[in-house]
Amino acid sequence: MKIVRRNCIASLIFCCCLLCSALIEPVCAGEQDCGVKCLYVAVKGFELTDAEYSTFRQSVRFDSSFGMSFEALSEAAEARGLFAKGIQGSLEDLQQLSPPFACIANVNDDHFVLVTDVSGTEVSVVDPPRTYTMDRNAFAAIWGGRALILSPSEVSTKSFVRGPLVVTLLCVISLATVLLIWKAKRSR
């Protein structure tokens, strides 16, 4: 009985660790500084730096072998005076935000772009050094909803699902699953 209970707890902890690492794992393995480039464009746009990109890049905690994480981008943004909030949301949520804001979005699970505006039909994207608009549906198809909201002042993100809440919900679901499996094995 103690072995089964210990295995259930270990399984739950393992599931929670996997879920947490998925939320902070670095992206942009191919072009490892796309997140830093997006942050630089946002910080420049909010007139919070006059540094050249090379100087800015060196000042950001950056793991060149893995790329950037939302956590590292958030820390770098806050160190430069920006409000930074990681979210899991939709284009409708972004459309409801009041300017000024920028949003570093994770697309294709391996790349960061800067979203500067969302309208009823289009999404304005900065993928340094390019700037373009995308059809809203096309952008939604490559974006999983994970983003970092940046603003000079706090932005209300009450309508968004926050990262820690997602982890908590997934941990509860994992715990329920583990307990159901344990109960089924126990009743045999």
Q: What are phi and psi of 115, to 5 degrees?
A: -95, 125
Q: Report yes or no: 63 and 26 within 8 Å, Cβ to Cβ.
A: yes
Q: Which residue has the higher pLDDT, 42 or 60?
A: 42
- Residue 180 above 60 pLDDT? yes
Q: Report yes or no: 85 and 157 within 8 Å, Cβ to Cβ.
A: yes
Q: Which residue has the higher pLDDT, 37 or 62?
A: 37
- Residue 24 above 50 pLDDT? no
- The rounded distance, in Å, linking the Cα atoms of 13 and 16 is 5
The predicted pLDDT at position 39 comes to: 92
> Which pLDDT band holds residue 152 (cuts at 50, 70, 90)?
confident
> Which pLDDT band holds residue 31 (cuts at 50, 70, 90)?
low
The predicted pLDDT at position 27 comes to: 43
The predicted pLDDT at position 20 comes to: 29
pTM, entire model: 0.66
Transcribe 136-177 into DSSP letters. HHHHHHHEEEEEEEEESS----TTSEEHHHHHHHHHHHHHHH
